[in-house]
Amino acid sequence: MAERRINNMEKIRTAVAQDLLSGRIDLLLGWEKGLYWWQSRPLFARNSEDLQRLTWDSFCVANLSGYLQEELKENKKIGILLKGCDSRALNRLVQDQMVDRERVVAYGLPCPGLLDPRLLKQEAGLELTALGIEEGEDRVTLTGTKGKSIAREELLLEKCRRCHHPDPVGCDQLLLPPVGSREDRSRFHQVTRLEEIPAEERFAYWSSQFERCLRCYACREACPCCSCRECFVEQEEPRWLGKAHENSENFIYHLTRAFHSAGRCVECGECQRVCPVELPLMELSSKIIKDINELYGEYQAGLDTEQDPPLLTYQPDDPAAFVE
């Protein structure tokens, strides 16, 4: 496995190096290793030296498509590495006319699912600094313990465990062989669980969650759907939101953000991952996705750029009980 990964790395690097060095792209958005082994961070590669740092491992979690909007102002053409979820984000941005697809070279990386450091730590019962891992095909061995081995599926990030489309869609080229669709995974179990509890309890649940929100807006910054030039939270005229820490305002922020990403959310889970207080933000987005599916038929944002989003289309048989 390790060997294959190295081989994969070479394959990826060769493919993108060619384009970057020949000037087909001005910038490559990829990942490099961070400070620790369980961190990989965005890499902005402009030359062969930068490319040496390029990495593709089980921690390349950041969705890079969010950088495109800004970077395209200064670069003519950008290459970008995309996992399944990331590729759908790019497609969504293209559908929202935020990114000119002609100016992007998309390299798809079929994704086996990324590992959650928090789970690794929990399973090992050790600080991550004292831990190492060896990845097999389906299992991960924790070195530093007594060789504890765990099914990879159980160590995946929450978003990866509900991911149906690990293979990138709509890319210019796939750099690795596809891993196949995972429609066997359940996407909405958490939402269904929440739906089943009584409304007051549900309100109490969200109240206690939002109470912790710092309004740092990291969720918005990381979200590929949040492409407005000026977000409503910062607007002065009219002023939608106060600045004080006030739970009702936190509610307004999160619910409005969820509505704004309705029909756009590609379930990349970045909002939840970057949240410093670990709010379960994906549950909100998932609830809206589930509702849209039930009302207007199955729709997964960013999968098919030809299909118009359900909230922007009208069918004569659309349910309209709410206006009657």
Partner 1 sequence: MPRIGVFICWCGTNIAGTVEIEQVVNAARSFPGVVYAGDYRYLCSEVGQKLIKDTIKKENLERVVVGTCSPRMHEVTFRKAVAEAGLNPYLLEVANLREHCSWVHKDPAEATPKAIALVRAAVSKASLDEPLTALMLDVEKRALVIGGGIAGIQAALDIADSGYTVDLVEKEPSIGGRMAQLEKTFPTLDCAACILTPKMVEVAQHPNINLLTYSEVEAVSGFVGQFDVRIRSRARSIDPSKCTGCGICYEKCPAKVPSEFDMELGKRKVIYVPFPQAVPNIPVIDRENCLYFKRGRCRICEKECPAEAIDFEQQDEIIERRYGVILVATGFDSMDLTGYGEYGYGQHPDVLSALQFERLFNASGPTAGQVVRLSNGRPPQRVVFIQCVGSRDIARGQNYCSKICCMFTSKQAILLKEKLPETEAYIFYIDLRTAGKGYEEFQRRAAEEYGVIYLRGSVGKVFPEGERLLVRGVDSLSGRPLEIEADLVVLAAASVPRRDAPELARLMSINSDRYNFFDEAHPKLRPVETHTAGIFIAGACQAPKDIPEAVAQAGAAAAKAVTLLSKEKLQSEACVAKVDPARCSGCLHCEAVCPYGAIAATETEERVRGELLTRTVAEVNPALCQGCGCCTMTCRSGSVTLQGYTDEQMLAEVDALCLQR
Comparing CA positions, the residue from 167, 174, 267, 251 lying closest to residue 213 is: 251
Let me know how many helices (H) and strands (E) the chain has, helices first. Answer: 12, 9
In the block, residue with structure tokens 């990030």: 157
For 57, the token pair is 């491992």
Q: Is 26 in the site for partner 1 (CB under 8 A)?
A: no
Q: With respect to partner 1, which residue has the nearer C-beta, 154 or 221?
A: 221
Under the binding rule (CB under 8 A), the answer on residue 50 touching partner 1 is no
CB 211 within 8 A of CB 250: yes
Asked if 269 and 159 touch (Cβ cutoff 8 Å), the reply is yes
For partner 1, which is the closer residue by CB, 28 or 98? 98
Amino acid symbol at 170: G
Backbone conformation region of residue 235, classed left if phi is above 0, alpha if psi is from -120 to 50, else beta:
beta
Rounded to a whole number, what is the distance in angstroms from the first to the last CA of the chain?
Answer: 59
Identified binder of partner 1 from the candidate list 183, 244, 316, 322, rule CB under 8 A: 316
| Closest separation in Å from C-beta 305 to partner 1 | 14
Is 229 a binding residue for partner 1 by CB under 8 A? The answer is yes
Q: Is 231 in the site for partner 1 (CB under 8 A)?
A: yes
The binder of partner 1 chosen from 40, 58, 65, 227 (CB under 8 A): 227
As measured in angstroms, the least distance from the Cβ of 162 to partner 1 is 25
Diameter over CA atoms, the chain:
65
CB of 234 to partner 1, least distance (A): 10
> Quick one: 150 or 226, whose CB is closer to partner 1?
226
User: By the 8 A CB rule, do 235 and 229 touch?
Assistant: no
From 228, 255, 295, 303, residue interacting with partner 1 (rule: CB under 8 A): 228
Q: Does the protein bind partner 1 through residue 230 (CB under 8 A)? A: yes
69-98 residues in contact with partner 1 (CB under 8 A) are: 73-74, 96-98
Per the document, the length of the chain is: 324
**By CB under 8 A, residue 312 contacts partner 1:** yes
Task: Cis check for the bond before 238: say yes or no (omega within 30 of 0).
Answer: yes
To partner 1, the closest distance from the beta carbon of 226 in angstroms equals 9
Binding site for partner 1 (CB under 8 A): 73-74, 96-98, 227-232, 235, 237-238, 260, 308, 311-313, 316
